[in-house]
Amino acid sequence: LDGQTFVVNHLDENSFQPGLRDYHAYRDLGIAAATNGKAVAHVAKVTGPCPEGGSGWHYHDTEFQFVYVLKGSITVEFEGQGPVEMKAGTTWLQPPRIKHQVLGFSDDMEALEIVLPANFGTTECDPPASSS
């Protein structure tokens, strides 16, 4: 990626901010600014309960999305895959525009996400035909 700048980001618990979901807070790791928006990296941590019935089906307009569970666990249902529980140490690659919904998570869940591009869209959608 051309045009990158050097960045270091030290842990500061006060750096977590509201973001896409109101039950998570996000710590921006400075990658979006350092790559001129080509990528984003953040840590998401739980700040409240999962909505009853889950997050609702949605997908992200991405080119690449990688997630690594740092602490706790999270259960996500993916189109064509069904529900998958991810625990600390689990990683997954989420293909572009795959429909999914968060079904639940532990109170201590934290995950690292790396996504291209930095400013990706999220679209709420109907469940896939193969889901209940």
**pLDDT tens digit string along 18-52?**
887 888 999 999 999 999 999 999 999 999 999 99
What percent of the chain lies above the pLDDT cut of 70?
Answer: 97
Give dist(CA 10, CA 58) in Å, integer.
32
Q: How confident is the model at residue 3, as a pLDDT?
A: 81
Q: Flag whether pLDDT at 130 surpasses 80.
A: no
CA distances from 25 to 15, 17, 22, 35, 126 (A): 9, 5, 7, 22, 26
Give me the sign of the Cα torsion angle 40, 44, 50, 54.
positive
Secondary structure of residue 85 in the 3-state scheme: strand
Give dist(CA 106, CA 46) in Å, integer.
8
Q: How confident is the model at residue 129, as a pLDDT?
A: 87
Q: Flag whether pLDDT at 131 surpasses 80.
A: no
Tokens representing 56 are: 């609702």
Q: How confident is the model at residue 132, as a pLDDT?
A: 52
Is the bond preceding residue 51 a cis peptide, omega within 30 degrees?
A: no
Q: Flag whether pLDDT at 100 surpasses 70.
A: yes
